[in-house]
Amino acid sequence: MDKLFKNLDQLIEKYDYFIIMAHAHPDLDALGSSLALYKCIEAKNKKVSIFLNKDAKLDDSLLKGVQRLDDIDFVDERNYKIVDNTLLFVLDVHSDKRLEYPEILNEKIDVAVLDHHIRRKDYIKNTVYMYINSSLSSMIEMMTNYLVYTGTEINSIIASIMLAGMEIDTNEYNLKTTSKTYLAASNLMKYGADIIFKQELLKENMDEYIKRADYIKQSFKLNDEIAMCVLTDQVEQPILAEIADDLLKLNNVEASFVVGRIDNGKVGISTRSMGKINVEKIVSKLGGGGSTTNAAAQLDMSLTEVRKKLIQLLGE
Ligand SMILES: [Mn+2]
Residue 8 has pLDDT above 90, yes or no: yes
Residue 203 has pLDDT above 90, yes or no: yes
* CATH 3.90.1640.10 matches 2-202: yes
Give the distance (Å) from ligand 1 centre to CA of residue 62.
14
Give the distance (Å) from ligand 1 centre to CA of residue 51.
16
Give the distance (Å) from ligand 1 centre to CA of residue 305.
32
Give the type of residue at 276: K
Q: How far is it, in rounded angstroms, from Cα 164 to Cα 162?
A: 5
Angle between helices 60-67 and 28-43 (to 10 degrees): 30
Give the distance (Å) from ligand 1 centre to CA of residue 268.
20
Give the distance (Å) from ligand 1 centre to CA of residue 116.
7
Residue 148 has pLDDT above 90, yes or no: yes
Spatial CB neighbours of 8, under 8 Å, sequence gap ≥ 6: 40, 146
CATH hierarchy code of domain 206-315: 3.10.310.30
Residue 120 has pLDDT above 90, yes or no: no
Residue 102 has pLDDT above 90, yes or no: yes
Give the distance (Å) from ligand 1 centre to CA of residue 292.
18
Q: How far is it, in rounded angstroms, from Cα 67 to Cα 195?
A: 18
Q: What is the DSSP string of the chain?
A: -HHHHHHHHHHHHH-SEEEEE-BSS--HHHHHHHHHHHHHHHHTT-EEEEE--TTS---HHHHHHHHT--S--EE-TTT----TTEEEEEES--BGGGBSSGGGGGSS-EEEEEE-SPP-TTBPSS-SEEEE-TTSS-HHHHHHHHHHHHT----HHHHHHHHHHHHHHTTTTTSS--HHHHHHHHHHHHTT--HHHHHHHH---HHHHHHHHHHHHT-EESSSSEEEEEEEEEE-HHHHHHHHHHHHTSTT-SEEEEEEEETTSSEEEEEEE-SSS-HHHHHHTTT-EEETTEEEEEESS-HHHHHHHHHHHHH-
Residue 54 has pLDDT above 90, yes or no: no
- pLDDT reported for residue 284: 94
Q: How far is CA 176 from CA 1, 129, 137, 138, in A?
A: 17, 24, 5, 9
Angle between helices 179-190 and 139-150 (to 10 degrees): 60
Give the distance (Å) from ligand 1 centre to CA of residue 302.
30
Length of the chain: 316
- pLDDT reported for residue 316: 78
Give the distance (Å) from ligand 1 centre to CA of residue 308.
32
Give the distance (Å) from ligand 1 centre to CA of residue 220.
30
Q: What is the mean pLDDT of the chain?
A: 95
pLDDT digits (tens, 9 = 90+) for 271-289: 999 999 999 999 999 999 8
Give the distance (Å) from ligand 1 centre to CA of residue 139.
5
Residues 191, 177, 24, 143: what is their CA dihedral angle, to the nearest 10 degrees? 40
Give the distance (Å) from ligand 1 centre to CA of residue 91.
8
Residue 15 has pLDDT above 90, yes or no: yes
Give the distance (Å) from ligand 1 centre to CA of residue 23.
9
Q: What is the mean pLDDT of residues 187-203?
A: 97
Domains 2-202 and 206-315 equal at CATH topology level? no
Residue 257 has pLDDT above 90, yes or no: yes
Give the distance (Å) from ligand 1 centre to CA of residue 31.
9
Give the distance (Å) from ligand 1 centre to CA of residue 99.
13
Dihedral sign, Cα of residue 273, residue 278, residue 281, residue 285: negative
Considering the entire predicted model, what is its pTM? 0.89
Q: What is the mean pLDDT of residues 206-213?
A: 93
Give the distance (Å) from ligand 1 centre to CA of residue 50.
16
Residue 45 has pLDDT above 90, yes or no: yes
Give the distance (Å) from ligand 1 centre to CA of residue 281.
23
Give the distance (Å) from ligand 1 centre to CA of residue 26.
9
pLDDT digits (tens, 9 = 90+) for 22-35: 999 899 999 999 99
Q: Could you tell me the pLDDT band of residue 56, with boundaries at 50, 70 and 90?
A: confident
Of 280, 231, 272, nearest in space to 253 by CA: 272
Q: How far is it, in rounded angstroms, from Cα 257 to Cα 245?
A: 10
Q: How far is it, in rounded angstroms, from Cα 296 to Cα 272?
A: 9
Give the distance (Å) from ligand 1 centre to CA of residue 170.
9
Q: How far is it, in rounded angstroms, from Cα 201 to Cα 164?
A: 7
pLDDT digits (tens, 9 = 90+) for 233-256: 999 888 999 999 999 999 999 999
Q: How far is it, in rounded angstroms, from Cα 215 to Cα 246?
A: 11
Give the distance (Å) from ligand 1 centre to CA of residue 138.
5
- pLDDT reported for residue 118: 86
Residue 59 has pLDDT above 90, yes or no: no
Give the distance (Å) from ligand 1 centre to CA of residue 239.
17
Domain ranges of the chain: 2-202, 206-315
